[in-house]
Chain A
């Protein structure tokens, strides 16, 4: 079983829709969770990070962590065509020598 599972999509939504992107993980020791956005032919860009269970909001983006279910989500409200990209989740156990585990990425297209 992979440490981190992420549905690769592709996911297509109309402009203005709420997008839900998800990752599941198997290691209950993961404490630190990150979401990245990668546009075509660019390096991944950090969107949000969180240490704890619950929700963290930043503009149109909300990161949600449910440690009991080993499940994290990224919600995008009022999606825009500029949100079309691949979204990667990542997680780690703190203080373990920089070991990070990435999902494979979900490709999102927002249709105008």
Chain B
């Protein structure tokens, strides 16, 4: 069964609104979670690392005010796309390392369409 759960799997929002995507670790605590963006037929692009108890670490070129990340608890990280525009439409995926060994598990992904 799923180890990391992501919600919603699909969301459509109007341009200018904000949308929140949740990522949960289901049977383990995750002090770190990762957020990715993926365009069709392209590889995963790491956006940011979500850290419980501290600020997220953003990759170069990712707007932190646009993509708000909150590691709300040891099992939940959220990505909020603020003032969404059509160019923000994409597939967003989270992952978390699960102990022992810190094997990375991915969520099912969230399709965001901004109209």
Contact = CB atoms under 8 A, between A and B. Distances in A.
B43 A43 contact: no
B75 interface: no
Contacts of B102: 32, 92, 94, 98
Contacts of B49: 98
Interface of B: 6, 32, 34, 41, 43-44, 49, 91, 93, 95, 97, 101-109, 111
Nearest to A96: B102
A102 B97 contact: no
Contacts of B91: 41
A88 B104 contact: no
Contacts of A105: 43-44
A90 interface: yes
A34 B44 contact: no
Interface of A: 8, 32, 34, 36, 41-46, 49, 51, 88, 90, 92, 94, 97-98, 100, 102-105, 107
A97 B49 CA distance: 11
Contacts of B44: 44, 88, 102, 105
Contacts, number: 51
Contact of A46 (B43, B104, B109): B104
Given A43-B6, A98-B32, A34 B106 contact: no
Contacts of B6: 43
Give 4 nearest A-B pairs by CB, closest first: A104-B43, A43-B106, A43-B109, A44-B106
B106 A36 contact: yes
A24 B103 CA distance: 19
B43 A32 contact: no
A42 B32 contact: no
A23 B95 CA distance: 21
20 contacts: A8-B43, A32-B102, A34-B104, A41-B109, A41-B111, A43-B6, A43-B93, A43-B109, A44-B93, A46-B105, A46-B106, A49-B101, A88-B44, A90-B104, A94-B102, A98-B49, A100-B34, A100-B97, A100-B104, A107-B41
